[in-house]
Amino acid sequence: MKIKKDDQVLIIAGNDKGKKGKVLKSLPSKEKIVVEGIALVKKHVKPRKSGQKGQIATAPRAISVTNAKIICSKCGKATRVGYEVIDKKKYRVCKKCGAKI
């Protein structure tokens, strides 16, 4: 999977189209990512102790990796990711400017 944790991404499809965010979690087996502030869902939480109030918590939901494009740190544009092998090490490369991501 080409998008990793702590990458900046641009959402290109869905209700949050056009928003940017940081990847909090990567789920390679499911081809999904969790992005900060994107695809928020509300969850009703019961009170655990007596006297405590119940609440509605919001949390980000996992979205498909195909709905996000990585943002290059050098050129600042949403881009596809390529790979380059230098001295037997594999690096992710921006397809627009050629910089290492």
Give the residue among 4, 21, 14, 1 at the shortest CA–CA distance from 63. 14
Q: Could you give the CA distance from residue 92 to residue 100 in angstroms, rounded to a whole number?
A: 6
pLDDT of residue 85: 96
The mean of the pLDDT values for the chain is 95
Give per-residue pLDDT as tens, 34-72.
999 999 999 999 999 999 999 999 999 999 999 999 999
Token pair of 62, please? 């996992």
Q: Which domains does the chain show, CATH number per domain?
A: 8-75 (2.30.30.30)
The pLDDT of 16-26, averaged and rounded, is 97
Token pair of 73, please? 């740190």
